[in-house]
Structure 1
Amino acid sequence: MGSVAARVAELTGREVSAVASLGASHEWRLYRAELADGTPLFVKALPEEARGMDGLFRAEALGLDWLGRSFGSPVPEVAGWDDRTLALTWVEERPPGPEAAERFGHQLAAMHLAGADAFGASWDGYIGPLPLDNTPRSAWPEFYAEQRILPYLRRAADRGALTPADVRLVEKVVDALDHLAGDPEPPARIHGDLWSGNVMWQDDGATVVDPAAHGGHREADLAMLALFGLPYLDRVRDAYNDTAPLGAGWRARVPLHQLHPLLVHVCLFGAAYRTMVLETARAALRV
Protein backbone atom coordinates (compact mmCIF):
# COMPACT_ATOMS: atom_id res chain seq x y z
CA MET A 1 0.00 0.00 0.00
CA GLY A 2 2.86 2.34 0.82
CA SER A 3 4.26 2.24 -2.70
CA VAL A 4 0.80 2.94 -4.16
CA ALA A 5 0.33 5.92 -1.86
CA ALA A 6 3.75 7.26 -2.81
CA ARG A 7 3.05 6.89 -6.53
CA VAL A 8 -0.34 8.59 -6.25
CA ALA A 9 1.20 11.44 -4.26
CA GLU A 10 3.89 11.90 -6.89
CA LEU A 11 1.40 11.79 -9.79
CA THR A 12 -1.07 14.22 -8.24
CA GLY A 13 1.32 16.46 -6.32
CA ARG A 14 -0.89 16.04 -3.25
CA GLU A 15 -0.53 14.23 0.07
CA VAL A 16 -2.24 10.85 0.37
CA SER A 17 -3.69 10.01 3.79
CA ALA A 18 -5.05 6.48 3.19
CA VAL A 19 -5.16 3.68 0.61
CA ALA A 20 -7.59 0.72 0.71
CA SER A 21 -7.48 -2.33 -1.55
CA LEU A 22 -10.51 -3.02 -3.75
CA GLY A 23 -9.24 -6.29 -5.20
CA ALA A 24 -7.99 -6.94 -8.72
CA SER A 25 -9.10 -6.89 -12.34
CA HIS A 26 -7.13 -8.90 -14.89
CA GLU A 27 -3.44 -8.24 -14.13
CA TRP A 28 -3.86 -4.95 -12.29
CA ARG A 29 -4.91 -4.13 -8.74
CA LEU A 30 -7.56 -1.64 -7.65
CA TYR A 31 -7.50 0.83 -4.76
CA ARG A 32 -9.40 3.67 -3.16
CA ALA A 33 -6.97 6.41 -2.21
CA GLU A 34 -7.91 9.36 -0.02
CA LEU A 35 -6.05 12.64 -0.25
CA ALA A 36 -5.25 14.67 2.86
CA ASP A 37 -8.19 16.99 2.19
CA GLY A 38 -10.59 14.02 2.05
CA THR A 39 -10.85 13.81 -1.75
CA PRO A 40 -11.21 10.16 -2.84
CA LEU A 41 -9.52 8.75 -5.95
CA PHE A 42 -9.87 5.46 -7.81
CA VAL A 43 -6.48 3.91 -8.54
CA LYS A 44 -5.30 1.13 -10.82
CA ALA A 45 -1.80 -0.22 -10.35
CA LEU A 46 0.22 -2.85 -12.20
CA PRO A 47 2.29 -5.01 -9.85
CA GLU A 48 6.00 -5.22 -10.51
CA GLU A 49 5.71 -8.76 -11.87
CA ALA A 50 3.22 -7.70 -14.59
CA ARG A 51 4.97 -7.43 -17.94
CA GLY A 52 4.08 -6.48 -21.48
CA MET A 53 1.41 -3.85 -20.71
CA ASP A 54 3.44 -0.67 -20.36
CA GLY A 55 1.05 1.21 -22.64
CA LEU A 56 -2.09 0.12 -20.80
CA PHE A 57 -2.65 3.16 -18.58
CA ARG A 58 -1.38 5.55 -21.23
CA ALA A 59 -4.13 4.29 -23.56
CA GLU A 60 -6.80 4.67 -20.90
CA ALA A 61 -5.63 8.12 -19.81
CA LEU A 62 -5.44 9.44 -23.38
CA GLY A 63 -8.79 7.85 -24.21
CA LEU A 64 -10.51 9.38 -21.19
CA ASP A 65 -9.04 12.79 -21.95
CA TRP A 66 -10.22 12.53 -25.57
CA LEU A 67 -13.72 11.40 -24.62
CA GLY A 68 -13.84 14.10 -21.97
CA ARG A 69 -13.40 16.81 -24.57
CA SER A 70 -16.87 16.11 -25.98
CA PHE A 71 -19.82 18.16 -24.72
CA GLY A 72 -21.34 16.69 -21.56
CA SER A 73 -19.04 13.68 -21.75
CA PRO A 74 -19.83 11.14 -19.00
CA VAL A 75 -16.28 10.06 -18.04
CA PRO A 76 -14.15 10.43 -14.89
CA GLU A 77 -11.28 12.90 -14.91
CA VAL A 78 -7.69 11.69 -14.91
CA ALA A 79 -5.87 12.85 -11.77
CA GLY A 80 -2.50 11.42 -12.84
CA TRP A 81 -0.86 8.47 -14.56
CA ASP A 82 2.36 6.75 -15.50
CA ASP A 83 3.16 3.33 -16.98
CA ARG A 84 2.36 1.51 -13.71
CA THR A 85 -0.38 3.63 -12.09
CA LEU A 86 -3.57 5.43 -13.08
CA ALA A 87 -5.48 7.72 -10.69
CA LEU A 88 -9.01 8.89 -11.51
CA THR A 89 -11.69 10.92 -9.80
CA TRP A 90 -13.84 8.70 -7.60
CA VAL A 91 -17.32 7.95 -8.94
CA GLU A 92 -20.01 7.17 -6.37
CA GLU A 93 -22.56 4.98 -8.11
CA ARG A 94 -26.32 5.43 -7.67
CA PRO A 95 -29.21 3.06 -8.43
CA PRO A 96 -30.33 3.19 -12.08
CA GLY A 97 -33.61 4.90 -12.93
CA PRO A 98 -35.60 5.87 -16.05
CA GLU A 99 -34.73 9.56 -15.89
CA ALA A 100 -31.02 8.82 -15.49
CA ALA A 101 -31.27 6.39 -18.43
CA GLU A 102 -32.77 9.06 -20.66
CA ARG A 103 -30.10 11.53 -19.65
CA PHE A 104 -27.42 8.92 -20.37
CA GLY A 105 -28.85 8.37 -23.86
CA HIS A 106 -28.48 12.07 -24.60
CA GLN A 107 -24.95 12.10 -23.09
CA LEU A 108 -23.86 9.13 -25.19
CA ALA A 109 -25.24 10.67 -28.38
CA ALA A 110 -23.42 13.94 -27.70
CA MET A 111 -20.17 12.08 -27.10
CA HIS A 112 -20.53 10.17 -30.37
CA LEU A 113 -21.40 13.32 -32.29
CA ALA A 114 -18.12 14.94 -31.18
CA GLY A 115 -16.62 12.74 -33.89
CA ALA A 116 -13.12 11.58 -34.74
CA ASP A 117 -10.60 12.25 -37.48
CA ALA A 118 -10.62 8.61 -38.64
CA PHE A 119 -11.57 5.12 -37.59
CA GLY A 120 -8.92 4.33 -34.98
CA ALA A 121 -6.84 6.65 -32.82
CA SER A 122 -3.42 8.26 -32.55
CA TRP A 123 -2.44 6.00 -29.63
CA ASP A 124 -2.00 2.23 -29.28
CA GLY A 125 -5.08 0.84 -27.57
CA TYR A 126 -6.10 -1.90 -25.18
CA ILE A 127 -9.37 -3.71 -24.59
CA GLY A 128 -9.04 -5.21 -21.13
CA PRO A 129 -5.48 -6.60 -21.06
CA LEU A 130 -5.37 -7.27 -24.83
CA PRO A 131 -3.69 -4.90 -27.30
CA LEU A 132 -6.00 -3.09 -29.69
CA ASP A 133 -4.70 -1.93 -33.08
CA ASN A 134 -5.83 1.68 -33.51
CA THR A 135 -4.00 2.45 -36.76
CA PRO A 136 -6.26 5.07 -38.38
CA ARG A 137 -8.25 4.11 -41.47
CA SER A 138 -10.77 5.98 -43.57
CA ALA A 139 -13.24 3.12 -44.22
CA TRP A 140 -15.09 1.35 -41.41
CA PRO A 141 -15.54 -2.11 -43.02
CA GLU A 142 -11.78 -2.38 -43.61
CA PHE A 143 -11.04 -1.11 -40.09
CA TYR A 144 -13.52 -3.52 -38.47
CA ALA A 145 -12.27 -6.51 -40.44
CA GLU A 146 -8.52 -5.96 -40.12
CA GLN A 147 -8.29 -4.44 -36.64
CA ARG A 148 -11.31 -5.67 -34.69
CA ILE A 149 -12.36 -9.09 -36.04
CA LEU A 150 -9.42 -10.92 -37.61
CA PRO A 151 -6.76 -10.37 -34.89
CA TYR A 152 -9.00 -11.83 -32.18
CA LEU A 153 -10.32 -14.56 -34.45
CA ARG A 154 -6.72 -15.71 -35.03
CA ARG A 155 -5.89 -15.46 -31.32
CA ALA A 156 -8.98 -17.48 -30.36
CA ALA A 157 -8.16 -20.15 -32.95
CA ASP A 158 -4.52 -20.33 -31.87
CA ARG A 159 -5.55 -21.06 -28.29
CA GLY A 160 -7.90 -23.82 -29.50
CA ALA A 161 -11.12 -22.09 -28.44
CA LEU A 162 -12.49 -22.01 -32.01
CA THR A 163 -12.33 -24.80 -34.61
CA PRO A 164 -11.38 -24.32 -38.28
CA ALA A 165 -15.08 -24.52 -39.17
CA ASP A 166 -15.83 -21.80 -36.61
CA VAL A 167 -13.15 -19.61 -38.16
CA ARG A 168 -14.60 -20.08 -41.64
CA LEU A 169 -18.04 -18.98 -40.40
CA VAL A 170 -16.67 -15.75 -38.95
CA GLU A 171 -14.62 -15.19 -42.09
CA LYS A 172 -17.90 -15.24 -44.05
CA VAL A 173 -18.97 -12.22 -42.01
CA VAL A 174 -15.69 -10.49 -42.82
CA ASP A 175 -16.09 -11.24 -46.53
CA ALA A 176 -19.61 -9.75 -46.50
CA LEU A 177 -18.81 -6.63 -44.47
CA ASP A 178 -19.29 -4.17 -47.32
CA HIS A 179 -22.83 -5.50 -47.70
CA LEU A 180 -23.58 -5.90 -43.99
CA ALA A 181 -22.26 -2.52 -42.81
CA GLY A 182 -25.23 -0.42 -43.93
CA ASP A 183 -24.90 3.14 -45.16
CA PRO A 184 -21.52 4.76 -44.48
CA GLU A 185 -21.24 6.68 -41.22
CA PRO A 186 -18.56 9.19 -40.20
CA PRO A 187 -16.21 8.13 -37.39
CA ALA A 188 -17.84 8.61 -33.98
CA ARG A 189 -16.08 9.28 -30.67
CA ILE A 190 -16.87 5.94 -29.02
CA HIS A 191 -16.12 4.29 -25.68
CA GLY A 192 -15.26 0.99 -27.36
CA ASP A 193 -15.93 -1.41 -24.45
CA LEU A 194 -19.33 -0.23 -23.26
CA TRP A 195 -20.78 -3.27 -21.53
CA SER A 196 -23.14 -2.68 -18.61
CA GLY A 197 -20.38 -3.17 -16.00
CA ASN A 198 -18.64 -0.09 -17.35
CA VAL A 199 -21.72 2.10 -16.83
CA MET A 200 -21.84 3.72 -13.38
CA TRP A 201 -25.23 5.26 -12.79
CA GLN A 202 -25.59 8.79 -11.45
CA ASP A 203 -28.64 10.78 -10.36
CA ASP A 204 -28.47 12.78 -13.60
CA GLY A 205 -27.20 10.20 -16.10
CA ALA A 206 -24.19 7.89 -15.97
CA THR A 207 -20.42 7.87 -15.93
CA VAL A 208 -18.67 5.40 -18.23
CA VAL A 209 -15.34 3.85 -17.21
CA ASP A 210 -12.61 1.53 -18.53
CA PRO A 211 -12.81 2.71 -22.16
CA ALA A 212 -11.12 1.32 -25.24
CA ALA A 213 -11.73 4.72 -26.81
CA HIS A 214 -11.24 5.32 -30.53
CA GLY A 215 -12.94 6.63 -33.62
CA GLY A 216 -15.44 3.92 -34.45
CA HIS A 217 -18.96 3.10 -35.53
CA ARG A 218 -21.45 4.55 -33.06
CA GLU A 219 -23.66 1.45 -33.28
CA ALA A 220 -20.84 -0.50 -31.59
CA ASP A 221 -21.39 1.17 -28.21
CA LEU A 222 -25.15 0.60 -28.35
CA ALA A 223 -24.72 -3.02 -29.40
CA MET A 224 -22.31 -3.58 -26.52
CA LEU A 225 -24.83 -2.14 -24.04
CA ALA A 226 -27.30 -4.76 -25.26
CA LEU A 227 -24.87 -7.68 -25.16
CA PHE A 228 -25.01 -8.41 -21.44
CA GLY A 229 -28.05 -6.32 -20.58
CA LEU A 230 -28.40 -2.77 -19.27
CA PRO A 231 -31.23 -1.50 -17.04
CA TYR A 232 -33.63 0.77 -18.93
CA LEU A 233 -31.84 0.12 -22.22
CA ASP A 234 -34.95 1.05 -24.23
CA ARG A 235 -35.02 4.44 -22.47
CA VAL A 236 -31.33 4.95 -23.27
CA ARG A 237 -31.83 4.11 -26.96
CA ASP A 238 -34.98 6.21 -27.32
CA ALA A 239 -33.24 9.26 -25.85
CA TYR A 240 -30.18 8.58 -28.02
CA ASN A 241 -32.41 8.50 -31.11
CA ASP A 242 -33.97 11.82 -30.13
CA THR A 243 -30.52 13.42 -30.25
CA ALA A 244 -28.81 11.41 -33.01
CA PRO A 245 -31.21 9.17 -34.97
CA LEU A 246 -29.72 5.80 -35.84
CA GLY A 247 -29.48 4.69 -39.47
CA ALA A 248 -32.00 2.46 -41.17
CA GLY A 249 -31.52 -1.22 -40.33
CA TRP A 250 -29.54 -0.63 -37.14
CA ARG A 251 -31.40 -3.36 -35.23
CA ALA A 252 -30.36 -5.98 -37.78
CA ARG A 253 -26.73 -4.89 -37.41
CA VAL A 254 -26.56 -5.37 -33.64
CA PRO A 255 -25.04 -8.90 -33.97
CA LEU A 256 -22.42 -7.59 -36.40
CA HIS A 257 -21.17 -5.10 -33.81
CA GLN A 258 -21.34 -7.65 -31.00
CA LEU A 259 -19.00 -10.03 -32.80
CA HIS A 260 -15.82 -8.16 -31.85
CA PRO A 261 -16.42 -8.05 -28.07
CA LEU A 262 -17.49 -11.69 -28.10
CA LEU A 263 -14.26 -12.71 -29.85
CA VAL A 264 -12.37 -10.73 -27.20
CA HIS A 265 -14.23 -12.74 -24.54
CA VAL A 266 -13.20 -16.00 -26.22
CA CYS A 267 -9.59 -14.83 -26.20
CA LEU A 268 -9.77 -13.94 -22.51
CA PHE A 269 -12.04 -16.65 -21.11
CA GLY A 270 -11.94 -19.52 -23.61
CA ALA A 271 -14.53 -21.69 -25.31
CA ALA A 272 -17.30 -20.79 -22.84
CA TYR A 273 -18.17 -17.97 -25.27
CA ARG A 274 -17.77 -20.06 -28.45
CA THR A 275 -21.50 -20.74 -28.87
CA MET A 276 -22.32 -17.03 -28.53
CA VAL A 277 -19.74 -16.19 -31.21
CA LEU A 278 -21.21 -18.72 -33.63
CA GLU A 279 -24.82 -17.68 -33.00
CA THR A 280 -23.88 -14.03 -33.38
CA ALA A 281 -22.00 -14.64 -36.63
CA ARG A 282 -25.01 -16.48 -38.08
CA ALA A 283 -27.32 -13.68 -36.97
CA ALA A 284 -25.04 -11.07 -38.56
CA LEU A 285 -25.18 -12.93 -41.89
CA ARG A 286 -29.00 -12.98 -41.90
CA VAL A 287 -29.21 -9.23 -42.68
Structure 2
Amino acid sequence: MGRETLKKAPILYRLILLFFLLHLQTSPTSAGYRGGGEEEEEWKSATATFSKQTDPSIITEGACGFVDLHRTSYGKYSAGVSSILFNRGSTCGACFELRCVDHILWCLQGSPSVILTATDFCPPNYGLSADYGGWCNFPREHFEMSQAAFAQIAVTKADIVPIQYRRVKCKRDGGLRFTVQGSSYFVQVLISNVGLDGEVTAVKVKGSKTGWIPMGRNWGQNWHCNINLVGQPLSFEVTISSSKTVVSYNVAPPKWQFGQTFEGKQFQT
Protein backbone atom coordinates (compact mmCIF):
# COMPACT_ATOMS: atom_id res chain seq x y z
CA MET A 1 0.00 0.00 0.00
CA GLY A 2 1.47 3.37 -1.05
CA ARG A 3 1.56 6.53 1.00
CA GLU A 4 -1.18 8.22 -1.06
CA THR A 5 -3.56 5.27 -0.60
CA LEU A 6 -2.88 5.23 3.16
CA LYS A 7 -3.61 8.98 3.39
CA LYS A 8 -6.99 8.50 1.69
CA ALA A 9 -8.02 5.61 3.98
CA PRO A 10 -10.44 6.30 6.86
CA ILE A 11 -8.69 7.25 10.11
CA LEU A 12 -9.96 4.15 11.96
CA TYR A 13 -8.55 1.89 9.23
CA ARG A 14 -5.20 3.68 9.43
CA LEU A 15 -5.05 3.22 13.20
CA ILE A 16 -5.81 -0.49 12.90
CA LEU A 17 -3.14 -0.92 10.23
CA LEU A 18 -0.58 0.99 12.31
CA PHE A 19 -1.29 -1.18 15.35
CA PHE A 20 -0.86 -4.33 13.24
CA LEU A 21 2.48 -3.18 11.84
CA LEU A 22 3.80 -2.26 15.28
CA HIS A 23 2.68 -5.62 16.66
CA LEU A 24 4.64 -7.43 13.97
CA GLN A 25 7.79 -5.54 14.95
CA THR A 26 7.51 -6.18 18.69
CA SER A 27 6.20 -9.74 18.95
CA PRO A 28 9.22 -12.05 18.48
CA THR A 29 9.62 -14.79 21.08
CA SER A 30 11.44 -13.51 24.16
CA ALA A 31 15.09 -14.57 24.36
CA GLY A 32 14.55 -15.45 28.02
CA TYR A 33 11.77 -17.96 27.34
CA ARG A 34 12.82 -21.55 27.91
CA GLY A 35 9.59 -23.35 27.08
CA GLY A 36 7.29 -25.41 29.22
CA GLY A 37 5.79 -22.28 30.76
CA GLU A 38 8.99 -21.32 32.63
CA GLU A 39 10.72 -17.97 32.41
CA GLU A 40 14.50 -17.95 32.53
CA GLU A 41 16.39 -14.95 33.87
CA GLU A 42 18.44 -12.94 31.42
CA TRP A 43 22.24 -13.01 31.66
CA LYS A 44 23.81 -10.25 33.78
CA SER A 45 27.42 -9.06 33.87
CA ALA A 46 29.77 -9.67 36.82
CA THR A 47 33.28 -10.89 37.60
CA ALA A 48 34.75 -14.04 39.15
CA THR A 49 37.92 -15.19 40.89
CA PHE A 50 38.82 -18.45 42.61
CA SER A 51 40.06 -19.41 46.03
CA LYS A 52 43.58 -20.83 45.87
CA GLN A 53 43.53 -23.83 48.20
CA THR A 54 45.70 -26.91 48.62
CA ASP A 55 42.73 -29.05 47.63
CA PRO A 56 40.59 -26.85 45.37
CA SER A 57 37.62 -29.21 45.55
CA ILE A 58 37.16 -28.75 49.31
CA ILE A 59 35.38 -25.72 50.71
CA THR A 60 34.26 -25.72 54.33
CA GLU A 61 32.54 -23.36 56.71
CA GLY A 62 31.12 -20.17 55.20
CA ALA A 63 28.72 -17.40 56.15
CA CYS A 64 25.65 -19.47 55.23
CA GLY A 65 26.37 -22.00 57.97
CA PHE A 66 26.56 -25.08 55.74
CA VAL A 67 29.87 -26.15 57.41
CA ASP A 68 30.93 -29.31 55.49
CA LEU A 69 29.86 -28.56 51.93
CA HIS A 70 30.55 -32.09 50.76
CA ARG A 71 28.10 -33.46 53.30
CA THR A 72 25.51 -30.88 52.24
CA SER A 73 26.09 -31.92 48.59
CA TYR A 74 27.44 -28.56 47.35
CA GLY A 75 31.15 -29.42 47.36
CA LYS A 76 33.30 -27.66 44.77
CA TYR A 77 30.17 -26.28 43.08
CA SER A 78 29.76 -23.53 45.62
CA ALA A 79 30.73 -19.88 45.74
CA GLY A 80 31.13 -16.86 47.94
CA VAL A 81 29.19 -13.87 46.64
CA SER A 82 29.59 -10.13 47.13
CA SER A 83 27.34 -8.05 49.38
CA ILE A 84 24.78 -7.10 46.77
CA LEU A 85 24.30 -10.76 45.79
CA PHE A 86 24.51 -12.15 49.34
CA ASN A 87 21.63 -9.93 50.46
CA ARG A 88 22.34 -10.41 54.19
CA GLY A 89 22.27 -14.18 53.83
CA SER A 90 18.86 -14.55 52.22
CA THR A 91 20.49 -15.77 48.98
CA CYS A 92 22.20 -18.70 50.74
CA GLY A 93 21.36 -21.91 48.90
CA ALA A 94 20.36 -20.20 45.65
CA CYS A 95 21.80 -21.50 42.38
CA PHE A 96 23.55 -19.48 39.69
CA GLU A 97 24.75 -20.41 36.22
CA LEU A 98 28.05 -18.74 35.27
CA ARG A 99 30.02 -18.47 32.03
CA CYS A 100 33.23 -16.63 31.19
CA VAL A 101 32.82 -14.05 28.41
CA ASP A 102 34.68 -11.37 26.45
CA HIS A 103 38.25 -12.45 27.20
CA ILE A 104 40.07 -14.31 24.42
CA LEU A 105 43.02 -15.29 26.66
CA TRP A 106 41.25 -16.49 29.82
CA CYS A 107 37.80 -17.75 28.78
CA LEU A 108 37.56 -21.34 27.59
CA GLN A 109 36.49 -21.78 24.00
CA GLY A 110 32.76 -21.89 23.53
CA SER A 111 32.07 -20.22 26.90
CA PRO A 112 30.96 -23.37 28.76
CA SER A 113 28.90 -22.73 31.87
CA VAL A 114 28.88 -24.11 35.41
CA ILE A 115 26.10 -24.08 38.02
CA LEU A 116 27.05 -23.04 41.56
CA THR A 117 25.32 -22.68 44.92
CA ALA A 118 25.75 -19.51 47.00
CA THR A 119 27.26 -20.79 50.25
CA ASP A 120 29.44 -17.95 51.54
CA PHE A 121 29.91 -14.20 51.75
CA CYS A 122 32.77 -12.51 49.90
CA PRO A 123 33.57 -9.54 52.16
CA PRO A 124 34.51 -6.11 50.76
CA ASN A 125 38.04 -4.80 51.09
CA TYR A 126 37.81 -1.04 50.81
CA GLY A 127 41.56 -0.71 51.33
CA LEU A 128 41.98 -1.96 47.77
CA SER A 129 40.66 -0.64 44.50
CA ALA A 130 37.53 -2.28 43.11
CA ASP A 131 39.59 -2.97 39.98
CA TYR A 132 42.43 -4.62 41.87
CA GLY A 133 41.76 -6.73 44.94
CA GLY A 134 38.56 -5.04 46.12
CA TRP A 135 36.44 -7.14 43.80
CA CYS A 136 33.72 -7.69 46.38
CA ASN A 137 33.37 -4.00 47.25
CA PHE A 138 29.82 -2.71 47.11
CA PRO A 139 28.05 -2.47 44.67
CA ARG A 140 30.09 -4.89 42.54
CA GLU A 141 28.58 -8.24 41.63
CA HIS A 142 31.28 -10.85 42.11
CA PHE A 143 31.67 -14.61 42.63
CA GLU A 144 34.55 -16.31 44.45
CA MET A 145 34.65 -19.89 43.19
CA SER A 146 36.59 -23.02 44.02
CA GLN A 147 39.56 -23.53 41.71
CA ALA A 148 38.04 -26.75 40.37
CA ALA A 149 34.81 -25.00 39.35
CA PHE A 150 36.66 -21.98 37.95
CA ALA A 151 38.72 -24.32 35.74
CA GLN A 152 35.51 -25.41 34.00
CA ILE A 153 34.94 -21.94 32.55
CA ALA A 154 38.34 -20.22 32.45
CA VAL A 155 42.12 -20.67 32.53
CA THR A 156 43.33 -20.75 36.14
CA LYS A 157 46.30 -18.49 35.33
CA ALA A 158 43.81 -15.64 35.36
CA ASP A 159 43.31 -13.64 38.55
CA ILE A 160 39.89 -12.34 37.61
CA VAL A 161 37.63 -12.87 34.60
CA PRO A 162 34.52 -11.16 33.24
CA ILE A 163 31.47 -13.41 33.45
CA GLN A 164 27.77 -13.50 32.83
CA TYR A 165 25.44 -15.07 35.37
CA ARG A 166 21.78 -15.82 35.92
CA ARG A 167 19.64 -17.44 38.60
CA VAL A 168 18.55 -20.99 37.79
CA LYS A 169 16.52 -23.67 39.52
CA CYS A 170 18.46 -25.91 41.91
CA LYS A 171 18.47 -29.63 41.18
CA ARG A 172 19.00 -31.66 44.36
CA ASP A 173 19.23 -35.37 45.14
CA GLY A 174 17.06 -36.47 48.04
CA GLY A 175 14.95 -34.32 50.32
CA LEU A 176 15.48 -31.19 52.40
CA ARG A 177 17.96 -31.71 55.23
CA PHE A 178 17.41 -30.43 58.75
CA THR A 179 20.41 -30.29 61.10
CA VAL A 180 19.24 -29.63 64.67
CA GLN A 181 21.49 -27.71 67.08
CA GLY A 182 21.00 -25.71 70.28
CA SER A 183 19.91 -26.54 73.83
CA SER A 184 16.71 -27.38 75.70
CA TYR A 185 15.12 -23.91 75.30
CA PHE A 186 16.89 -22.82 72.11
CA VAL A 187 16.48 -24.86 68.93
CA GLN A 188 18.48 -23.92 65.84
CA VAL A 189 17.97 -25.74 62.55
CA LEU A 190 20.23 -25.55 59.51
CA ILE A 191 18.24 -26.19 56.32
CA SER A 192 20.19 -27.44 53.31
CA ASN A 193 19.79 -29.32 50.02
CA VAL A 194 16.86 -27.11 49.03
CA GLY A 195 15.59 -27.59 45.46
CA LEU A 196 13.99 -25.16 43.00
CA ASP A 197 14.66 -21.62 44.31
CA GLY A 198 17.12 -22.90 46.92
CA GLU A 199 16.40 -19.70 48.82
CA VAL A 200 14.43 -20.25 52.06
CA THR A 201 12.31 -17.31 53.19
CA ALA A 202 10.27 -18.76 56.07
CA VAL A 203 10.33 -21.79 58.39
CA LYS A 204 7.91 -23.20 60.96
CA VAL A 205 8.46 -26.08 63.37
CA LYS A 206 5.94 -28.23 65.18
CA GLY A 207 6.28 -30.69 68.03
CA SER A 208 3.72 -33.25 69.13
CA LYS A 209 2.75 -30.94 72.02
CA THR A 210 2.74 -27.64 70.11
CA GLY A 211 1.11 -25.92 67.18
CA TRP A 212 3.12 -24.50 64.29
CA ILE A 213 5.83 -22.15 65.63
CA PRO A 214 7.45 -19.59 63.27
CA MET A 215 11.25 -19.67 63.35
CA GLY A 216 13.46 -16.62 62.88
CA ARG A 217 16.52 -16.44 60.64
CA ASN A 218 19.53 -16.55 62.94
CA TRP A 219 22.18 -16.28 60.21
CA GLY A 220 22.57 -17.71 56.74
CA GLN A 221 20.23 -20.68 56.53
CA ASN A 222 20.15 -21.25 60.29
CA TRP A 223 16.67 -20.77 61.78
CA HIS A 224 15.80 -20.72 65.50
CA CYS A 225 13.06 -20.54 68.09
CA ASN A 226 13.11 -20.24 71.89
CA ILE A 227 11.05 -23.20 73.04
CA ASN A 228 11.72 -26.62 74.53
CA LEU A 229 11.06 -29.27 71.88
CA VAL A 230 13.18 -32.04 73.41
CA GLY A 231 11.40 -35.39 73.50
CA GLN A 232 8.89 -34.44 70.76
CA PRO A 233 8.88 -35.57 67.11
CA LEU A 234 9.59 -32.57 64.89
CA SER A 235 7.78 -31.46 61.74
CA PHE A 236 8.90 -28.59 59.51
CA GLU A 237 7.16 -26.25 57.09
CA VAL A 238 9.56 -24.54 54.67
CA THR A 239 8.73 -21.73 52.26
CA ILE A 240 11.02 -20.58 49.42
CA SER A 241 11.26 -17.26 47.58
CA SER A 242 8.63 -18.22 44.97
CA SER A 243 6.16 -18.69 47.87
CA LYS A 244 6.03 -22.47 47.39
CA THR A 245 5.76 -24.41 50.65
CA VAL A 246 6.55 -28.01 51.55
CA VAL A 247 5.69 -29.71 54.85
CA SER A 248 7.74 -32.59 56.25
CA TYR A 249 5.89 -34.35 59.06
CA ASN A 250 7.67 -36.11 61.94
CA VAL A 251 11.09 -36.07 60.25
CA ALA A 252 12.85 -36.16 63.62
CA PRO A 253 11.74 -38.98 65.98
CA PRO A 254 10.87 -38.29 69.65
CA LYS A 255 14.38 -39.26 70.81
CA TRP A 256 16.28 -36.99 68.39
CA GLN A 257 19.52 -35.45 69.66
CA PHE A 258 21.28 -32.16 68.97
CA GLY A 259 23.78 -32.47 66.12
CA GLN A 260 21.72 -34.96 64.14
CA THR A 261 20.54 -34.40 60.56
CA PHE A 262 17.18 -35.56 59.25
CA GLU A 263 15.77 -35.70 55.73
CA GLY A 264 12.33 -34.47 54.72
CA LYS A 265 10.36 -33.86 51.54
CA GLN A 266 11.71 -32.00 48.52
CA PHE A 267 10.23 -29.21 46.40
CA GLN A 268 8.87 -30.50 43.11
CA THR A 269 8.67 -28.65 39.79
- Which category describes the TM-score, using the shorter chain as reference length? under 0.3
Structure showing the higher helix proportion among its residues: 1
Task: Return the TM-score normalized by structure 2.
Answer: 0.23
Structure showing the higher strand proportion among its residues: 2
Task: Return the TM-score normalized by structure 1.
Answer: 0.22
